[in-house]
Structure 1
Amino acid sequence: MAGLTFGAVLLAAGAAVAYWRETRPPVTDDQVADVADALDAAERTAAPDATGGTPSGSPSPSASPSAKASPSPSPSPSPSPSTIAIPATGPGTFVTAEADGTTVGTGSRVRRYKVLVEEGIDIRPSAAAAEISDVLADRRGWTTDGANSFRLVSSGSYDFVVKIATPGTVDEICGAYGLRTRGEVNCAVGTDVVVNLKRWVLGSPEFDGPIGDYRALIVNHEVGHRIGHGHETCPGPGLPAPAMMQQIKGLKGCVANAWPYDRAGEYLGGPSVS
């Protein structure tokens, strides 16, 4: 049964690729690959184990792949369970975070973005926007390139939108582009970064690190695509995985990392993936 399900996921992903390329030109090959990899990882996580056990329920912050090798000496202690409720679905309407016009970074290319949170969930739009803004302003983030800066806006034109939504609403938004996210994964379509509330609260079973780092990786990876960066791979054993690496596929000997730059301003890149 797991094999049949996995085959169905691959078939759905392939159909999504064809659909997007024919009818949704804003969706890039990188975005298609990101979502296909996430679906593959979700399928591996949900599959029965070798002893014939049943699939587990919602991933927990402490979950990790059973065969994952890490160069770290030991994992960090698991965080306390979150008290934020994760409803299966919501109304599909959003509240836009207020913005004061503050720009982070000194680059001449100002990227305008919005943060939207679905109505009825236990996350304040202002809090989500503040966390995302902190990621973009961090000296390990994209503003270090000296070319880009970011401005949170609540109206008018924008370059991209970060939407935090319930699993059911994510399925609806992503499904409109031919993608089956099955209530489990994030997706990026057009100018939208659609973040599954389950992932925002619980993190990913494929990412061994604090929840704040996982959220930073979501932001940095997707924003990286929007400012022109493609996928990269591990530059060598024991080195930080690039933020533009598809870390959900495995670290290939690198160490999990959410940031494009280190604290000294050095780019944490790797070989390009065509």
Structure 2
Amino acid sequence: MKGRLFTGALAVAVLVVLGVTVSEQVAADRSASVGGAQAAGVPGGGGGEPPGTGEPSPLPPAWNLDGLTYEQRMGLVYDLGPDLQGPGSFTAVPGTDEPPREGQEFLYRVDVEDDLGLDGDLFAEAVHRTLNDERSWAHDGLAFKRVPEDGAGKPDFVITLASPGTTAEWCAKSGLDTTVDNVSCDSASTSRVMINAYRWAKGSETYGDRRIHAYRQMLINHEVGHRLGYGHVECSKDGGLAPVMQQQTKFLDHDGIHCRPNAWAYPNG
């Protein structure tokens, strides 16, 4: 089935630190420490290799963690309710991101639902990095350029980070029900590729907290894959990598076959 089911808001209070020291001065300079969330730790640069363990350190909200790298922020798990209903209004992330190489160009915009409390700039950066990675759809000679709301050129699609309730509303416009497993979708009859903020914030049991970076990359690649015309497939070899178009939020194993999590259309580059 194509278009498809797949797959906050206070942010992180705890970050498992791996070989990274966040100075007391940084923490002291930020007054608000937020409770109710855990962090997955600091993943490796490849996104998705499970890190080791470390002592947790209290940190302020994720949108103000200026001392952390992109990889570290992508390793955080945020606290966002599975039943959250946002206002249904969106704000486009400002600015433009050029693709790193030439190719068949797709224009896209990034919208974030208002009042989510999640880092829109981080989401936009993750989308751009992920789509233009040579392991992603860019491997096929595609190039993805992010455009602002008031920029020249109409976007081919709008990647939208939205609450579970708003995600369900937009997916229903294309005949899709995301409420059963609280997933994301490509709302193919509209311009929006919907990323469920609950899944973006919390991940899935199939990936676990320590692979949250890779899970987010998979979310982006899976739903944009639908927009590019790809349907669902499953791994056929026991112990093999799950195709990025497998519904990995719901399951990795099927019919006695064990599949390993995989975020990429072309995992070997």
Aligned to 1:233: 234
CA deviations on 1:97-129 (whole Å, 9 max, x unpaired) are: 12325123332x101111110111212322210
Counterpart of 1:250 in structure 2: which amino acid? L
2:35 is matched with which residue? Answer: none
Residue 4 of structure 1: aligned partner? none
CA 143–177 in structure 1, closer or farther in 2 if over 3 Å, else same:
closer
**1:96 Cα deviation after fit:** 0.3
1:200 has 2:200 as partner: yes
Please give the alpha-carbon distance, in whole angstroms, between the structure 2 residues aligned to 1:171 and 1:257. 25
**Which ranges of structure 1 fall in alignment gaps of 5 or more residues?**
1-28, 39-59, 63-74, 266-274
Give the alignment partner of residue 130 of structure 2, picking from 110, 113, 135: 135
Give 2:260's aligned residue: 255
For residues 117 and 144 of structure 1, the distance between their equivalents in structure 2, rounded to whole angstroms, comes to 27
For residues 163-209 of structure 1, give each alpha carbon's deviation from its aligned partner in whole angstroms, at most 9, with x where no partner exists.
11112222322234444433822222123221121111000223346
Return closer, same or farther for 1:61/1:30 CA change in 2, 3 Å cut-off. Answer: farther
- Report 1:86-165 matches (<5 A): 86=81, 88-107=84-103, 109-145=104-140, 147-155=141-149, 156-165=153-162
Q: In the alignment, which residue of structure 2 is the partner of 1:242?
A: 243
- Look up the SS of the partner of 2:2 in the other structure: helix
The residue number in structure 2 matching 1:168 is 165
Gaps of 5+ in 2: 8-37, 41-49, 57-75
Question: Which residue identity is paired with 1:189?
Answer: S
2:186 is matched with 188
Within 2, Cα distance between the matches of 1:262 and 1:181?
Answer: 27
TM-score for the superposition, normalised by structure 1: 0.62
Distance 1:83 1:246 in 2: 22
Deviations 1:128-155 (A, max 9, x none): 101111111223222122x211000123
Equivalences, count: 200
1:154 maps to amino acid = P
- Distance in structure 1 (CA, Å) of the matches to 2:131 and 2:162: 21
After superposition, the CA RMSD in angstroms is: 3.2
Q: Is the contact made by 1:61 and 1:211 (CA closer than 8 Å) also made in structure 2?
A: no
- The 1:157/1:197 distance shift into structure 2, 3 A limit, reads same
Q: Does the 8 Å contact 2:185/2:194 carry over to 1?
A: yes
2-structure distance, mates of 1:194, 1:148 = 21
CA contact (8 A) 1:104 1:143 kept: no
Cα 1:260/1:118, change in 2 over 3 Å: same
Deviates more, 1:220-229 or 1:194-203: 220-229
**Which gives a bigger RCO, structure 1 or 2 (Cα 8 Å, sep 6+)?**
2
Using a 3 Å threshold, how does the CA distance of structure 1 residues 167 and 226 change in structure 2: closer, same or farther? closer
Q: Deviation above 4 Å: which 4+ runs of structure 1?
A: 75-81, 83-87
SS of the residue corresponding to residue 30 of structure 1 reads coil
Q: Which has the higher helix share?
A: 1
% same residue: 33
Name 1:26's counterpart in structure 2.
none
